[in-house]
Amino acid sequence: MDMMPFAEAYERALARVEPISGTEEIVVAQALGRVLADAVHAPDNVPNHDNTAMDGYAVRFQDLAATGDTILTVVDEVPAGSRLERVIGQGEAVRIMTGAPMPDGCDCIVIQEDVTRDGDALTVPTGQVQGKWIRRTGQDIAKGSEVFAKGHRLTPPDIGMLASLGRSSVDVVRRLKVAVVSTGNEVVQPGNPLELGQVYDSNRHSMIAVLQALGVDILDLGIISDDREAIKTALLKGADEADVVLTSGGVSVGDYDLVKDVITEVGVIDFWKVRMKPGKPQAHGRIGKAVFFGLPGNPVSVLATFLLLVRPAMLVMMGCAPAPLREMVLPFKGEPILKTHGRAEFARGIIHYDGADTSVSSTGSQNSGILTSMSKANAFIVLPVEPCEVHQGEMVTVMPIEY
Ligand code: AMP
Ligand code: MG
């Protein structure tokens, strides 16, 4: 099979999955990162009354002289949380605190820094602006408007928004469930001694960590040796109990790369060779009703393929609208990149945030086994399929990394 261009793999990865069904009602305080099962509309205006944005005095603009000072009489006060029953008449003013409702008849706030007060007598200088410092009813959210669309993934300010609408609970898509497996005879659980030729299982930990950041349920199936039956048992269990089966290792062309073989036996592979580096061998398929992602074994490739192809597809499964990867263009600095191979490269890069001088550099060696490169990186530098060189000052395409 030919290698698939990355852009096509991205489209295929998203197009071949569907949103899971099933919703649940949860409390708003626990809804961060969850995906809305329905649109949210405003049951009322926010704020639900005209109120003052500043501490000061509520007055009638028509009472103020066009030139010179005006003396008004302070007749009452309204702290936040209370309201005034009386209507304010000519020549009257009300002491008012931030957040308090505008008294009837008043249409102007004079901030306290601008006035002088002597007993009930209030001196207001000229130059006040009608309507200024008044937060209007519905200025944040208008009653009946759609605040969030179905499929919106809730951010921290969204949680505050839901609360400001008076919502205490919200309907969300149930959590996606993902089974995670590491494969390899050489792979060892951290905490045990390491013999020559063995390697600690960083991949399952990386996978679980990125899944935790995504907010899915995780079924940890541990480390499976390169044994056809053991792999088969694990994959079938994962497919039976989860929406997604995610594996690392065993999808290349080596003698012990059995994951791919087992999938063709118990499921189907949709595509597996992508013209990208890192991550040329990776398997996208299905086992029964579960979606299967077979990630490469190299620790960098695991994270790169997860972030670039698996995470976006999982978001679609979680009920979010398919989204394009986010790119920006920045000047390159530092040691040049010399790329000789014929695959699109997602080099690990560091964006140096420095205002208008923001730039990106390489993390150094781009070997797929060097997990440090991923740990240092905050972006991928996207290099075209053709061999190329990138030198200081040249503009490059960059994808900031999001976890
Ligand atoms: P594979 O794709 O199974 O041939 O693995 C490629 C490389 O990744 C080998 O050097 C493996 O030892 C390494 N590797 C595979 N699985 C893991 C893992 N879970 N943690 C760390 N390294 C791994
Ligand atoms: Mg292996």
163 with 260, same domain: the answer is no
Quote the percentage of the chain above a pLDDT of 70. Answer: 100
- 153-188 pLDDT, tens digit per residue, is 999 999 999 999 999 999 999 999 999 999 999 999
E strands, 149-250, are: 169-173, 177-183, 187-188, 199-200, 217-224, 244-248
The ligand that comes nearest to the alpha carbon of residue 225 is 2
Residue 215 CA to residue 354 CA, distance in Å, equals 32
230 with 303, same domain: the answer is yes
pLDDT category, 361, cuts 50, 70, 90? very high
Mean pLDDT of the chain: 96
Residue 157: enclosing H or E segment and its boundaries? Answer: helix 156-164
CA of 49 to the centre of ligand 2 (A): 64
The CATH number assigned to the domain holding 227 equals 3.40.980.10
- Tell me, what's the pLDDT at 369? 83
Over range 90-94, report the average pLDDT. Answer: 98
- Return phi, psi of residue 310, to 5°: -80, -45
211 with 188, same domain: the answer is yes
Q: Whose CA is nearest to atom 5 of ligand 1?
A: 297
Last residue of a domain, one of 276, 291, 317: 317
**Under the phi-then-psi rule, with left for phi > 0, alpha for psi from -120 to 50, and beta for the rest, what region is 4?**
beta
pLDDT category, 367, cuts 50, 70, 90? confident
- 197-254 pLDDT, tens digit per residue, is 999 999 999 999 999 999 999 999 999 999 999 999 999 999 999 999 999 999 998 8
Last residue of a domain, one of 264, 285, 317: 317
* More confident position, 366 or 65: 65
- Tell me, what's the pLDDT at 113? 97
201 lines ligand 1 (CB under 6 A): yes
Angle between helices 259-266 and 228-241 (to 10 degrees): 60
Other Cβ atoms closer than 10 A to 27:
10
Find all residues with CB under 8 Å of 255, minimum gap 6, and list them: none
Q: Which residues pair with 379 in a beta bridge?
A: 349, 400
347 with 255, same domain: the answer is no
The CATH number assigned to the domain holding 41 equals 3.90.105.10
- Tell me, what's the pLDDT at 229? 97
CA of 184 to the centre of ligand 1 (A): 7
304 with 341, same domain: the answer is no
- Tell me, what's the pLDDT at 316? 98
CA of 298 to the centre of ligand 1 (A): 5
Q: Which residue has the tokens 């670039």?
A: 308
294 lines ligand 1 (CB under 6 A): no
Over range 311-337, report the average pLDDT. Answer: 96
105 with 90, same domain: the answer is yes
151 with 276, same domain: the answer is no
Whether 323 is in a domain gets the answer no
**Best probe residue, ligand 1, of 181, 187, 371 (max atoms within 8 Å of C-beta):** 187
Over range 63-68, report the average pLDDT. Answer: 96
Q: Whose CA is nearest to atom 6 of ligand 1?
A: 297
- Tell me, what's the pLDDT at 156? 98
203 lines ligand 1 (CB under 6 A): yes
124 with 149, same domain: the answer is no
13 with 66, same domain: the answer is no
Indicate the number of domains in the chain: 4
- Tell me, what's the pLDDT at 256? 85
Whether 279 is in a domain gets the answer yes
Contact 390, 381 (CB under 8 A): yes
267 lines ligand 1 (CB under 6 A): no
Last residue of a domain, one of 294, 317, 340: 317
135 lines ligand 1 (CB under 6 A): no
128 with 262, same domain: the answer is no
CA of 292 to the centre of ligand 1 (A): 18
- Tell me, what's the pLDDT at 253? 87
Whether 322 is in a domain gets the answer no
Whether 152 is in a domain gets the answer yes
Over range 107-131, report the average pLDDT. Answer: 97
Comparing C-alpha atoms, which of 194, 277, 319, 360 is closest to residue 5? 277
Other Cβ atoms closer than 10 A to 29:
11
Range of the domain at 80: 51-135
Residue 162 CA to residue 270 CA, distance in Å, equals 40
Contact 202, 249 (CB under 8 A): no
Whether 231 is in a domain gets the answer yes
Over range 292-321, report the average pLDDT. Answer: 97
Tokens in use for 130? 């009608």
**Best probe residue, ligand 1, of 195, 202, 248 (max atoms within 8 Å of C-beta):** 248
**Best probe residue, ligand 1, of 188, 203, 221, 261 (max atoms within 8 Å of C-beta):** 203
| pTM for the whole structure | 0.92
- 5-63 pLDDT, tens digit per residue, is 999 999 999 999 999 999 999 999 999 999 999 999 999 999 999 999 999 999 999 99
- Tell me, what's the pLDDT at 1? 55
**Best probe residue, ligand 1, of 298, 302, 372 (max atoms within 8 Å of C-beta):** 298
Residue 149 CA to residue 206 CA, distance in Å, equals 32
The ligand that comes nearest to the alpha carbon of residue 189 is 1
Residue 39 CA to residue 271 CA, distance in Å, equals 35
182 lines ligand 1 (CB under 6 A): yes
200 with 151, same domain: the answer is no
Contact 318, 332 (CB under 8 A): no
Contact 313, 305 (CB under 8 A): no
346 with 231, same domain: the answer is no
The CATH number assigned to the domain holding 340 equals 2.40.340.10
Residue 182 CA to residue 162 CA, distance in Å, equals 40
